[in-house]
Amino acid sequence: MKPRSDSDTSVEEALLNRRSVRSYVDGALTLQEFSQLLWATQGVTAPQGMRTAPSAGGLYPLEVYVAVGDVEGLSPAIYRYLPDVHSIQRVLDGDMRGELAQASLGQRWIENAAVDIVIAAVYERTTAKYGERGLRYVHMEAGHAAQNLCLQATALRLGVVTVGGFDDERVGATLNLPHNQKPLYVIPVGRIEKP
């Protein structure tokens, strides 16, 4: 679905209301919400391929994966986001949220979220140009992308939390990541009780 470029929530309101939310209620995300979350994280915003988050040298080292458990019209599976065509590619069948929670030190909110968005990095895309300093740039970019995701989830009235505590190798194996992609964030997103 085509992402929206407007909403009833201002940037200031999203900043004011952004919180780490670890408790979710049952309820599927809509395809529009799912699409919007992925676009906010790494979507293309210009014909030249520029994205929602700044990237050192425009090298875009991040890869976005989603462990889908409860999205209307989507089978539970691991999907990879394809920013250039704003689409997803199935990587692995099945609901992997439980395995991802176990790989993340047993953090149950990962299993209970409708989806878990994982930001991974291919460091070489940036370090080939910037050397060791490129590692810092990749981490900065991951932070930008994660904040975009958090603000978008907040604007959609969804709960979200960033998770950095996990076993890198187990997360990589759970998602079937290529050997050169390293997970940096696991970000659960789900429905919350209406105030």
Q: Domain ranges in the chain?
A: 11-191
Neighbours of 137 (CB within 10 A): 20
Helix residue ranges, H only, the chain: 11-17, 31-42, 97-103, 108-112, 124-130, 133-155, 168-175
Query: What is the pLDDT, as a whole number, of residue 181?
Result: 98
Residue 57 has pLDDT above 80, yes or no: yes
Query: What is the pLDDT, as a whole number, of residue 194?
Result: 79
Q: For residue range 65-99, what is the model confidence (pLDDT) as tens digits?
A: 999 999 999 999 999 999 999 999 999 999 999 99
Question: Measured between alpha carbons, how far is 15 from 101 in angstroms, rounded to an integer?
Answer: 27
Q: For residue range 13-41, what is the model confidence (pLDDT) as tens digits?
A: 999 999 999 999 999 999 999 999 999 99
Residue 3 has pLDDT above 70, yes or no: yes
- Please give the backbone phi and psi of residue 75, each rounded to the nearest 5 degrees, phi first: -75, 145
Query: What is the pLDDT, as a whole number, of residue 1?
Result: 83
pLDDT over 90, % of the chain: 95
Question: Measured between alpha carbons, how far is 179 from 177 in angstroms, rounded to an integer?
Answer: 6
Neighbours of 183 (CB within 10 A): 25
pTM of this prediction? Answer: 0.96
Cβ within 8 Å of residue 151, ≥6 positions away:
11, 14, 15, 18, 40
What average pLDDT does range 119-134 have in this prediction?
98
Q: What angle do CA 174, 75, 193 make, to 5 degrees?
A: 90
What average pLDDT does range 125-150 have in this prediction?
98
Question: Measured between alpha carbons, how far is 44 from 40 in angstroms, rounded to an integer?
Answer: 9
What average pLDDT does range 33-56 have in this prediction?
97
Query: What is the pLDDT, as a whole number, of residue 195?
Result: 66
Give the distance from CA 127 to its chain's centroid: 22
Architecture of the structural domain at 11-191: 3-Layer(aba) Sandwich (3.40)
Question: Measured between alpha carbons, how far is 101 from 170 in angstroms, rounded to an integer?
Answer: 10
Question: To the nearest whole number, what is the mean pLDDT of the chain?
Answer: 97
